[in-house]
Chain A
Amino acid sequence: MAAPEPEAPTSARSRAKDHSPWNWLLFIPIVVPLIPAFFNADSPRLFGFPRFYWLQLAWIILGVATTTLVYQMTKKRGDR
């Protein structure tokens, strides 16, 4: 079980696509929904929804847009 570490294959670099600067964008939908100062208010209302509710529902769209963008920019291209 305690076999020696196999040598990391030389192809490691080419497949390390996780390290993309695009990934930093993902911190936007992680941080923004957690700042109550943005949404903790009644006005303006939208279709009768206080800001607290419609703006947090709008963050969902922010989350979808960001993850979709990052996915599109980082998905593997080319030969593999």
Chain B
Amino acid sequence: MMRDHLTEIIVFTFLFLLVSAMGFVAARWRAPRDMAHLDEWGLGGRNFGGWITWFLVGGDLYTAYTFVAVPALVFGAGAMGFFAVPYTIVIYPLVFLVLCRLWSVSHRHGYVTPADFVRNRFDSPILALLVAITGILATMPYIALQLVGIEAVLKTMGVTGESTIARHLPIIIAFAILAAYTYQSGLRAPALIAFVKDSLIYIVILVAVIYLPYKLGGWGDIFNAADAKFKASPAPGDGILLNANNQLQYITLAFGSALALFLYPHSITGVLASRNRDVIKRNMSALPAYSLLLGLIALLGYMAIAAGVKPLPGATQGSVDGNTVVPLLFDQQFPDWFAGVAYAAIGIGALVPAAIMSIAAANLFTRNIYREYLKRDATPAQEANVSKITSLVVKVGAVACIVFLDPQFSIDLQLIGGVIILQTLPAVALGLYTRWFHRTALIAGWAAGMAMGMWMLYQVANPTTGKKHFAGSAFPLSEFGFDTKKTIYVGIVAVLVNLAVAALLTLVLRAAKVADGVDHTTPDDYFADEGDPRVVPGAERDADSAREPVA
């Protein structure tokens, strides 16, 4: 098996090792005075300009899993999978408005994580702890998904073995290398590697969308082939257009995913690492270039239909692994060496976000658990060290998820992850605009939203795969007693419940005059920019994030 793919494997391995070397060198890139500081290791010195931020945030949001799973969804379900396009359009204006404020307040107070902000804004270590734990829990399966992306590629190249260990050895090696250079270089590693990743992906996709339609008889034929397939299939929800029942699901999923994505700690890390507000705003108008890429990648699913690709078998008997659709399409349609380049693009595409995610999770642990609860007087060097070690632990955990659990399980967990991270919206995103919500009400809202989200996800069944629970994010409105076949994205409903509880309880607590702590930020903080005279100087910055700047 492997011998048939020798060229692909050589090209893949070569490019993979090349970027690994870059990862180690990155420690010296834009050389910091002192790497033993969380601002340096975890945020790249908070000094990234326009281009680096573009690649870093882009590499953050468009992951290997996106490149593999979105086309797989389009291959299987059609129009529904295209939700990724409106989703990545809606994100940028939202960030433009909201995360600029987070950048400013974080810049002035030296916050590294969203939980740092929540702690000071609402004067509530408990709320901050909830935000931190939610972030870590939601990020872990996301990292595991990156491995699912690499695995799809390896599987297509025939790099699989019989025993559990042999099958996963390449992934374990890849992640060991990733862990080593992230440990050494911090956020600088993915920032540097992202250049290579994106260059490769752009080349591959441009070639694919020009060459493949030419080979397959043109776009019209590709869409007609997909249409014919979905018309013949018995599944009710598929088709190259949406039907009356899944339009609400389409828009709520797109909107909810957009809200969730920028609450994920790794996206926030990418934004906080930029040099100033201007860099963020400029990026938000330039980053949609990736959305165009994503739309074209999604259509690879239809090309695979037109090319007659049959996905490889999945982990259990009789199932198919839809994630192998795109790698198989490349394998069939491209010369071996170019397929190797494409695989490397996907593989490296997994390393960049996995590194950023593990750094973000590690920062949350260090700032909001270690320093808050274990060692109050931690020095910046100790913080950086704890973060480095935590990032290793997080990656080991992600690998364990893939090796010992069914990868499908990681996909289900990630689904839950999106719903739970949305529950930090009132505290983090709305908190940037208003302190009207009472801290206790926010905690109650979080709990209510979580409970609602979990209950709804538990109810979602998929008759096609025979799964009774956690089989998707489309909640049938008939479960609420409506006489309809329409479905809605679970996350949206859960966050609405969260907001309703938080708002009601706020009114009650305000009426009862329950103490609400002190807001350690000022309205002015939300507009601060690079060169702000009131920024806490670097040396003191991490001594105590709650410290008030001297006016």
A positions within 8 Å CB-CB of B: 1-3, 5-9, 11-12, 15-18, 23, 26-27, 29-30, 33-36, 40-42, 45, 47-50, 52-53, 56-57, 59-60, 62-64, 66-68, 70-71, 74-76, 80
Contact = CB atoms under 8 A, between A and B. Distances in A.
Nearest to B104: A18
Interface stretch (B148-156, B192-200, B220-228): B220-228
A27 B100 CA distance: 16
B33 to A, nearest CB: 27
Given A6-B551, A30-B90, A47-B219, A60 B85 contact: yes
Contact of A15 (B90, B92, B101, B527): B527
Interface in B210-231: 213, 218-223
Interface stretch (B36-44, B246-254, B312-320): B246-254
Contact of B242 (A5, A34, A36): A36
Nearest to A70: B96
A29 B86 CA distance: 9
A27 B292 CA distance: 20
A51 B225 CA distance: 16
A8 B524 contact: yes
A8 to B, nearest CB: 5
B129 interface: no
Nearest to A64: B288
Given A2-B123, A15-B529, 8 more contacts: A1-B520, A6-B551, A26-B93, A26-B97, A36-B250, A40-B247, A47-B219, A71-B284
B454 to A, nearest CB: 26
Given A16-B527, A36-B250, A57 B85 contact: yes
A60 B85 CA distance: 8
Contact of B90 (A18, A34, A42, A53): A34
Contacts of A11: 524
A18 B100 contact: yes
Contacts of B221: 48
Contacts of B223: 45, 48-50, 53
B93 A63 contact: yes
B218 A67 contact: no
A18 to B, nearest CB: 6
B281 A8 contact: no
A16 B546 CA distance: 23
B281 to A, nearest CB: 5
A67 B281 CA distance: 8
A59 B86 contact: yes
B291 interface: yes
Contact of A6 (B97, B241, B522): B522
Nearest to B546: A1
A57 B528 CA distance: 35
A66 B79 CA distance: 26
B483 to A, nearest CB: 21
B278 interface: yes
A9 B551 contact: yes
